[in-house]
Structure 1
Amino acid sequence: MTYDYDAIVIGGGTAGLAFAVSAVSLKAKVAIIESNKFGGSCINSGCIPSKAFLHSAHVAHQIATAHELGIDARIEKIDLSTIMSRVNHIVDDDYEHTLEKYKKLGVSIIDGRGELLDNHSVKVGDNTYTGEHIIIASGSRPVIPPIKGLTDVPFLTNETIFDMKQLPKNLTILGAGSIGLEFGQGFEFLGSQVSIIDMVPTIFPKDDPEVSGFMERIFSSENINLYLSSSIEEVKQQDGKLITTIEKDGKKIDIIGDAIFASLGRMPNTKNMGLETIGVELDPKGYIKTNAFLQTSIPNIYACGDVVGPYKFTHMANYQGFTIAKNIILKEPTEIDYSEVTWSIYTKPEVAHVGYTEQMAKEANLFGDSIVVNFERTERAVIDSDTGFLKLILDKDNLIIGATLISEKAGDMINTAAVAIKERLDPTFFITLIYSFPTEISIYKYAGLEFLKKVYKEDQRKKIQYKFIE
């Protein structure tokens, strides 16, 4: 049978784009159907604009703390309108560049909402397109929970916050996940009084306990109000203020704000696409079920990105899109592998993780030991007033299976641990590397030295010669 395209992608976000660029490079004929703004949430309302916003916030923080370095500097004015104008300019440039790039590559861009008619046909408006394969990469959207009164008052999400013109004196954030924590700290640096509310007992609840304790101390020192183990009872508007009523420890508390930012997670865009009509199976939360090759319950239909999970990261969407291209264009059966997935939260300092936490390793009966090294061991961290730690998780054979980093540069540095996990290395590998000096990444060397202290007896250690043992 002849089809219009080798592959039709529903969704022009990161996952769909990653597949498309790989497929057209291999001479496949590809169409992308997009009903919203091309480039998806990362370019338009996620990674790119949020990090552009945080850059301004971090500069403000540097100025405010410059006196600690002997520099007398003052902020005369915070102009949120100008900050957001810069953010949106970066987004627009990235959008235009991405759109033009894919057109030049020969990808057909189809504007509109795609609806599956069968396993090879997609309807867009009055037109129907056919493809040998179909890739669902329709992304996700913010969760708007049924909180009493929330939809009756003005509130912000990550899709609307970059339209703000005035800095709120008091900002209430619903949700202490990565988005809430990044924006909360960012607005605090710009001068807002920030309150963050969540039902979880700690921030970073899925990470090693050292992380939550460390970061809660940071947030408290910055006068950010954390209302944890708290349920949101009601939101209302009164006398020009937005009042969020919570229950904590059996008591009702009213939190008064000038703006509310809802960051309570994301949900997949899988409704009204014809998925269930043609037999594509979804899980109870609406995510598309896939096998290890990212095939859905219909073999020629694949899915990737936020509609699949389990990690809603841009780099994960890229990885999944490339993997599907290998499977259907190169015809090289490749299973997805999540053992070295890195994630980073761009607070100050950053928090990054890869592989197993200690608790995860214990639950999987893999845990052998852990190594924790503080950044005060590295000269560069002392010079730059950086603070944090590296924690390595080892299995019973002393191979690295997980790592957590807190540092100003954690997002960059975590990739070293990811390589160690992939190559099945033990911590002594880090001692054999020659590190530029002074750099914070030499923290890995000190982790290797700590490992030696644990595994070798004193008389054995004296016999071992390593270039970097001091």
Structure 2
Amino acid sequence: MTVWAVDVAIIGAGTAGLSARAEVAKRTDSYMVFDPGPYGTTCARTACMPSKAFLQSAHDFHRRRTFDDLGITGAEHLRADGAGVLGATRKIRDRLVEGVKQGMEDWRQTHLVQCAPRFSADGSLQADDTSYLARATIVATGSRPVVPQDWYDRFGERILTTDDFFELENLPRRIAVVGLGAAGLELGQAMARLGVEVMGFDPSATIGGLADPVLQDRLRESLDAEMVIVRAQVDLSEGKDGAIKVQWDEGEAEVDCVLAAMGRKPELGDLGLSHLGIDLAEDGLPDLSQGQLNPPGTRVYFAGDSGRGPALLHEASDEGHVAGYFAARDQDALFRRRVPLAIVFCEPQIALAGATWDELEARGEEIVIGEASFDRAGRIQLQRESGGALRVYAERATARLLGAAILAPEAEHLGHLIASAIEHEDDLSALLRMPAYHPTHEEVLRRALRATLKKCDVDVPEIELVRCKETPVDCDEG
């Protein structure tokens, strides 16, 4: 067996692995990247990007319902071609994947090992007939969808995941979406808007990651007009004429296929980490403290879905760069994470910035909450959009902004703004000094900030309150 010594081994060529490679390559040319393929990152191939391309078609088609209000005629003649939408989605998906592959061209011939390695008893990495002795190793093996094995055994290709959804030749007539996190909610609503009969199932009250109970009710009310949502666990059995029967405590229904959107699990079980003295917790992840990427005493760094950070692209990229930086320098990888930010691209959008309802609820009266509605906001009326609401969380004693939950059109932009304010440790008064152009969604944010500030135990200069009042011409109630 050939033995090859390298400074850094990188297992995985997804977002985290490629980010790590970019940092390692700045410091040393003695590295290898291990990945059997397919290449192109999960984001580009099966997750963030194709789902948003698919959503764009669905949301644009749904927009036809407002055409009469806009003075545009002929909407009744528009039709959605499911096969065409999926084909257009794959076209943009393939272009993005090709872009990632082209970014690997400069190094793949000399630094890419196209197989999955495994640690041996002596701590080396075994890949085909070569043993790699690495001073440091970055583990960025990603994750795979969670699906009960018996579902696959009984129903085969009728069970879909986000890994294969975009390979469908056409959209089904009826589908059950099991799991209403970000992926299930986005794809479920998109299919409903393209004419599919959609039933969504999740035993949790939290759908789309939205834990705030006030906004949960508003979200469900909005979605009920488009798809059936059932808060329940389900069992599957054979239905009539090749259908799948979906059963829950209070009912049953038949669908043509099931989209399993029940989360993802890390791809770490077959790596042989126990040979390095690294044990995995019950959730399949290493035991790491907040902001730490390598277990103490080791030079094995975990990034992306292999680590304990949020399973989001910007977090995976951060972790990859940080892991690569410290691995190349033979140092512990410790860093401060960004302010949490999560966005779901359903309509209305969900944006969560900073601390969440679940994290703050236990603090009771220490926390104040201010709310404002988008229902009659000027910008909403002009866009002929449905409404929504914004909830701001702050510390009562200091008026320090802690977090926000937003359910509104284009909530992504307010989410970024609030996350930035939290990062800069702004209080409510500081954010209120931000100009709010008219007509914009930021005007609604300002109302929520005022409502929250009134509940805080702080003194605010009167002039600051005066200048942040509403305009005397109320354009939101017309």
* TM-score greater than 0.5 by the shorter chain: yes
Aligned to 2:380: 381
- 2:159 is paired with a residue whose SS is coil
- 1:358–1:367 contact (8 Å) kept in structure 2: no
What amino acid sits opposite 1:212 in the alignment?
Q
- 1:289–1:297 contact (8 Å) kept in structure 2: no
Shift in Å, 1:338: 4.5
Shift in Å, 1:35: 1.8
Q: Partners of 2:155 and 2:458 in 1: how far apart? A: 67
Aligned to 1:412: 413
Q: Partners of 1:376 and 1:232 in 2: how far apart? A: 35
Structure 2: give runs of 5+ residues left out of the alignment. 472-478
Q: Partners of 1:211 and 1:337 in 2: how far apart? A: 30
Q: Partners of 1:172 and 1:427 in 2: how far apart? A: 43
Instruction: Note closer, same or farther for the CA distance 1:213–1:280 as it changes in structure 2 (3 Å cut).
Output: same
Deviates more, 1:386-395 or 1:145-154: 145-154
Shift in Å, 1:319: 1.6
- 1:208–1:358 contact (8 Å) kept in structure 2: yes
Instruction: Note closer, same or farther for the CA distance 1:408–1:275 as it changes in structure 2 (3 Å cut).
Output: same
Q: Partners of 1:272 and 1:334 in 2: how far apart? A: 24
Q: Partners of 1:377 and 1:335 in 2: how far apart? A: 46
Q: Partners of 1:150 and 1:263 in 2: how far apart? A: 18
Aligned: 1:160 with 2:164: yes
- 2:371–2:452 contact (8 Å) kept in structure 1: no
Shift in Å, 1:425: 0.8
Instruction: Note closer, same or farther for the CA distance 1:127–1:149 as it changes in structure 2 (3 Å cut).
Output: closer
- 1:17 is paired with a residue whose SS is helix
Aligned to 2:79: 77
- 2:392–2:452 contact (8 Å) kept in structure 1: no
- 2:40–2:98 contact (8 Å) kept in structure 1: no
Shift in Å, 1:129: 2.6
Q: Deviations over 1:401-449 (max 9, x none)?
A: 1111112211232111111111111111222223444332343333333
Shift in Å, 1:333: 5.9
What amino acid sits opposite 1:168 in the alignment?
P
- 2:249 is paired with a residue whose SS is strand
Divergent runs of 4+, >6 A: 456-460
Shift in Å, 1:25: 3.6
- 2:368–2:456 contact (8 Å) kept in structure 1: no
Q: Partners of 1:341 and 1:148 in 2: how far apart? A: 34
Alignment of structure 1 residues 200-279 onto 2, 5 Å:
200-201=204-205, 203-204=207-208, 207-222=211-226, 224-228=227-231, 230-248=232-250, 253-279=251-277
- 2:133 is paired with a residue whose SS is strand
Shift in Å, 1:456: 8.4
Shift in Å, 1:464: 5.2
Deviates more, 1:31-40 or 1:119-128: 119-128
Instruction: Note closer, same or farther for the CA distance 1:57–1:441 as it changes in structure 2 (3 Å cut).
Output: same
Q: Partners of 2:165 and 2:132 in 1: how far apart? A: 36
Deviates more, 1:230-239 or 1:112-121: 112-121
Instruction: Note closer, same or farther for the CA distance 1:118–1:363 as it changes in structure 2 (3 Å cut).
Output: farther
- 2:246–2:253 contact (8 Å) kept in structure 1: yes
Q: Partners of 1:460 and 1:434 in 2: how far apart? A: 18
What amino acid sits opposite 1:24 in the alignment?
A
Aligned to 2:328: 329
- 2:76 is paired with a residue whose SS is coil
- 2:22–2:324 contact (8 Å) kept in structure 1: no
Aligned: 1:283 with 2:269: no
Query: Which residue, out of 176, 180, 186, partners 1:182?
Result: 186
- 1:293–1:327 contact (8 Å) kept in structure 2: no
Aligned to 2:63: 62
Instruction: Note closer, same or farther for the CA distance 1:54–1:327 as it changes in structure 2 (3 Å cut).
Output: same
Alignment of structure 1 residues 9-28 onto 2, 5 Å:
9-27=10-28
Q: Partners of 2:159 and 2:317 in 1: how far apart? A: 31
Instruction: Note closer, same or farther for the CA distance 1:119–1:329 as it changes in structure 2 (3 Å cut).
Output: farther
Alignment of structure 1 residues 428-447 onto 2, 5 Å:
428-447=429-448
- 1:368–1:398 contact (8 Å) kept in structure 2: no
- 1:380–1:439 contact (8 Å) kept in structure 2: yes
Instruction: Note closer, same or farther for the CA distance 1:30–1:372 as it changes in structure 2 (3 Å cut).
Output: farther
- 1:279–1:297 contact (8 Å) kept in structure 2: no
- 1:392–1:404 contact (8 Å) kept in structure 2: yes
State the aligned residue count.
Answer: 463
Q: Partners of 1:419 and 1:120 in 2: how far apart? A: 43
Give the alignment's TM-score, normalised by structure 2: 0.88
- 1:342–1:354 contact (8 Å) kept in structure 2: yes
Aligned to 2:91: 89
Deviates more, 1:287-296 or 1:112-121: 112-121
Q: Deviations over 1:124-182 (max 9, x none)?
A: 22223332210111011011125668643421111111111222221111122221111
Instruction: Note closer, same or farther for the CA distance 1:146–1:129 as it changes in structure 2 (3 Å cut).
Output: closer
- 1:289 is paired with a residue whose SS is coil
Greater RCO, 1 or 2 (C-alpha within 8 Å, sep 6+): 2
Aligned: 1:126 with 2:125: no
Shift in Å, 1:463: 7.8
Aligned to 1:313: 312
Shift in Å, 1:370: 1.3
The percentage of counterpart residues that share the same residue type is: 22
Q: Partners of 1:237 and 1:126 in 2: how far apart? A: 49
Q: Partners of 1:410 and 1:349 in 2: how far apart? A: 8
- 1:326–1:333 contact (8 Å) kept in structure 2: no
Q: CA RMSD in A?
A: 2.8
Instruction: Note closer, same or farther for the CA distance 1:331–1:247 as it changes in structure 2 (3 Å cut).
Output: same
Q: Partners of 1:300 and 1:458 in 2: how far apart? A: 51
What amino acid sits opposite 1:219 in the alignment?
L
- 1:86 is paired with a residue whose SS is helix
Instruction: Note closer, same or farther for the CA distance 1:196–1:436 as it changes in structure 2 (3 Å cut).
Output: same
Shift in Å, 1:187: 0.3
What amino acid sits opposite 2:89 in the alignment?
V
Give the alignment's TM-score, normalised by structure 1: 0.89
- 1:205–1:212 contact (8 Å) kept in structure 2: no
Q: Deviations over 1:187-246 (max 9, x none)?
A: 000001111112224535761112210110011122x11111x22223224313222222
